[in-house]
Amino acid sequence: MDLSSIGGKIKQYRKAAKLSQSQLAEMIGISTKYVSVLERSAKPPSLETLINIANALNISTDLLLCDTLNVQFDIKQTLLGERFNGLTKKEQAKVLAVVDVLIDQIKE
């Protein structure tokens, strides 16, 4: 099992939350150095640390694990569906038109 993507996801969502490594570390009771180790994927987090990170970032652990899970496409499809549903009807039509073109290009 390749867990290397978890570190990048932690970093991505930490930055999206506008938190520094030291702020995240303080929130979950670990060292800044350990946050750096995790974000560089030098070591995978324990289950407890993973849950604490997700809670601190106010996200689901699925978001941190989606590239390592066998159901990653289901998770990504759900996330895209949620984003799509947040669009106006006009924006949804534009997205669908782009998707149609991409599918046609892939099938050629």
Structure tokens that stand for 39 in this block: 């974000």
pLDDT at 101 over 80: yes
pLDDT at 76 over 80: no
Domain positions in the chain: 4-65, 72-107
Report, at the CATH architecture level, how domain 4-65 is classified: Orthogonal Bundle (1.10)
**pLDDT, the chain, mean:** 89
Q: What is the pLDDT of residue 67?
A: 73
pLDDT digits (tens, 9 = 90+) for 20-43: 999 999 999 999 999 999 999 999
pLDDT at 81 over 70: yes
